[in-house]
Amino acid sequence: MQDDLALSAYQLDPEGLDALAPNEPPYRIDQIREWLYAHPVLDPAQMTNLPGELRKSLAGRLWPFVVGIEQTADAGRTRKWLFRSPNGASIETVLMGYRKRTTLCISSQAGCAMACTFCATGQFGFERHLDAGEIVAQIAYANAALREQPIAGSPGRVTNVVFMGMGEPLANYANLRESLHRMIDVIDMAARSITVSTVGVVPGIHKLADEPWQVGLAISLHAADDELRTSLIPLNKRYPLDDLVDAGLYFFRKTGRRISIEWTMMDGVNDNPDQAAKLSRIAHRLSAHINVIAMNPTPLTPHQRPDRMTIRDFMDDLDHHGANATFRETRGHEIDAACGQLRIRSATETPNGAQL
Ligand code: SF4
């Protein structure tokens, strides 16, 4: 357990910020809290209503990470950061600007223990859980970066958060829960604008359904029978499809929120009429919307993107079965925006920056 003196500002409980400035009066602590959560800035020097000495003392202690790599794509509408914590853990975060929303895809763990075969992060293995402060700091950092450099035509703050970066959020439940509390009760984000994505941690889905917030749930399904699913997502052996669908139904009934099913099409794997029929049946049972994307190939995974005709036939099959489905082009191909890809790039770069 780290003591409070070693923690960055975002890792402290928002109600325990006096650890940052023990001799300051309560109104100063309130001002610091405002800077951290309501109006985040990249550098404490910009905290203009704080005395100079206090700003200096916050320098180096504001963020729980430094920026390792920053990339932009889609004419500046997609930004990706690979943050590094002081102990070397990598944290990937992707910001995407749209016309009416600014969505941030955040990480909940450094690495991941789930070992899904289609995921770059899964091939690295698990490093550690992120704490709630490290999770929320990704949002604060994006808000601070947007303040410096807005995305033209998009809201100047993060309006939507998706837990679809590195890690399985429901395997880090206590920190997920605390981060949701801080997003909703401290940053004042709408619970309905936050989506937790899971590959199927059934007990975690039940716990999330029982929380007081109406956050969204996305189930990364990717296969619609147990044999194929277990071959792609080892966790399916522990929590097979029937249990996962039951948990999804519990979530839907308890929260009233429609679940979304995520489906990454992989060439020759899950892009056939049989999977489309089975997927449609599951979506009907859950009254779920299906988001289909095409595999973004990575050096560490064997799967490829299907061709256009196969994608079109698959979407037609879903339509034929009456499923509610949308094909979505993924953002930021040229910046390794798929989960874990930036980290691969970083790990395979030679010291002079050339690609191996
Ligand atoms: S897809 Fe998600 S759960 Fe599976 S290995 Fe990747 S990060 Fe982990």
Where residue 36 sits, what CATH number does that domain have?
1.10.150
Residue 43 main-chain phi, psi, to 5 deg: -130, 130
Looking at residue 123, its pLDDT comes to: 85
Report if residue 352 sits inside a domain: no
Looking at residue 134, its pLDDT comes to: 98
Question: Which CATH number goes with the domain that contains 200?
Answer: 3.20.20.70
> Do both 28 and 75 map to the same domain?
no
Q: Are 81 and 70 in contact (CB under 8 A)?
A: yes
What does the pLDDT look like over 40-77, one tens digit per residue?
A: 999 999 999 999 999 999 998 999 999 999 999 989 99
Tell how far CA 17 is from the center of its chain.
Answer: 26
How confident is the model over 257-271, as a mean pLDDT?
A: 96
Residue 179 main-chain phi, psi, to 5 deg: -65, -35
What does the pLDDT look like over 309-320, one tens digit per residue?
A: 999 999 999 999
Ligand 1 touching residue 121 (CB < 6 A): yes
Residue 336 has pLDDT above 90, yes or no: no
Domain that includes residue 54, residue range? 4-58
Give the C-alpha separation, 343 to 139, whole Å: 19
Q: Place 351 in a pLDDT band, splitting at 50, 70 and 90.
A: very low
- List, by residue number, the catalytic residues: 92, 339
In the reported structure, the alpha carbon of residue 310 is separated from the centroid of ligand 1 by a whole-number distance in angstroms of 25
Number of domains in the chain: 2
- Across the chain, mean pLDDT equals 92
What does the pLDDT look like over 157-178, one tens digit per residue?
A: 999 999 999 999 999 999 999 9
Closest Cα to atom 5 of ligand 1: 122
In the reported structure, the alpha carbon of residue 148 is separated from the centroid of ligand 1 by a whole-number distance in angstroms of 32
Residue 91 has pLDDT above 50, yes or no: yes
Report if residue 354 sits inside a domain: no
**322 vs 6, residue with greater confidence:** 322
Asked which of 16, 34, 58 is the last residue of a domain, the reply is 58
> Do both 11 and 158 map to the same domain?
no
Residue 350 has pLDDT above 80, yes or no: no
pTM reported for the whole predicted model:
0.93
Ligand 1 touching residue 36 (CB < 6 A): no
What does the pLDDT look like over 191-238, one tens digit per residue?
A: 999 999 999 999 999 999 999 999 999 999 999 999 999 999 999 999
Q: Place 1 in a pLDDT band, splitting at 50, 70 and 90.
A: very low
Residue 278 has pLDDT above 90, yes or no: yes
Distances from the Cα of 135 to the Cαs of 7, 130, 173, 323, in angstroms? 14, 6, 12, 34
Report if residue 65 sits inside a domain: no
Q: Place 356 in a pLDDT band, splitting at 50, 70 and 90.
A: very low
Looking at residue 168, its pLDDT comes to: 97
